[in-house]
A and B are shown apart, each in its own frame.
Chain A
Amino acid sequence: AQSVTQPDIHITVSEGASLELRCNYSYGATPYLFWYVQSPGQGLQLLLKYFSGDTLVQGIKGFEAEFKRSQSSFNLRKPSVHWSDAAEYFCAVYDFNKFYFGSGTKLNVKP
């Protein structure tokens, strides 16, 4: 069965520091992978997605993610975090009509 694991529940980084959020998936075929961001009280906004091709994908707001098939990972990165990036981030795999979401990583940004 498809599953997505985000091992870090909370992460705190200083503003201006780099960020990496981990995501591991379990999926039999080539996965369609996504990262979403959710601000408090809001819906989900798509940051980026991977279907095929170049394993390093660029998204909005300066985010990027790298697909590593050998590690079943799709980690999200940003070189320099801004205070406005504080939110919850969800990794997801798409399979036949539906998304399977990880449990999320809450990002706090210190001034």
Chain B
Amino acid sequence: NAGVMQNPRHLVRRRGQEARLRCSPMKGHSHVYWYRQLPEEGLKFMVYLQKENIIDESGMPKERFSAEFPKEGPSILRIQQVVRGDSAAYFCASSPMGVEDGSYEQYFGPGTRLTVT
């Protein structure tokens, strides 16, 4: 059973370009979470999605960032017009159920390290 997969593992973008980060949850998991880790800091929650729905985006910056989890395919975190401050590690986690079903287990992927030059 493959774990949570993220690609690319490393991504370099110039300022002003777009970054697309992909996350494939574990098989059978329909809940996806995105976190950002800045250097020397812990992970900060960004967004929680179920298939075709955004459940909680309270941690997402209001501009330039968006996320989706389509019915088919991976979840995508999209950052438009990247700036140097977006350089960070972005982690995806998945779970088989949501908190409303009593699930508190989140399985983390290896992360995508974004560098903005």
Q: Please give the residue numbers on chain A whose beta carbons come within 8 Å of chain B beta carbons, in ascending order.
A: 4, 6, 32, 36, 41-46, 49, 51, 90, 92, 94, 96-104
Contacts and interface: CB of A to CB of B under 8 A. Distances in A.
Interface string B1-28: 0001000000000000000000000000
Contact of B104 (A43, A45, A94): A94
What's the dominant secondary structure at chain A's contact region? strand
B48 A43 contact: no
B115 to A, nearest CB: 14
Contacts of A94: 104
A55 B108 CA distance: 26
Interface residues of B, number: 23
Contacts of B48: 97-98
B108 A102 contact: no
A104 to B, nearest CB: 5
A23 to B, nearest CB: 11
The 7 closest A-B pairs by CB, nearest first: A101-B42, A43-B108, A98-B45, A44-B108, A43-B110, A101-B43, A103-B42
A41 B4 CA distance: 15
Contacts of B56: 97-98
Nearest to A88: B42
A36 to B, nearest CB: 8
B99 A99 contact: no
28 contacts: A4-B42, A6-B42, A32-B104, A41-B111, A42-B111, A43-B4, A43-B109, A44-B91, A44-B108, A46-B105, A49-B104, A90-B43, A96-B99, A97-B48, A97-B55, A97-B56, A97-B98, A98-B48, A98-B56, A99-B45, A99-B106, A100-B45, A101-B35, A101-B42, A101-B43, A101-B44, A103-B40, A104-B42
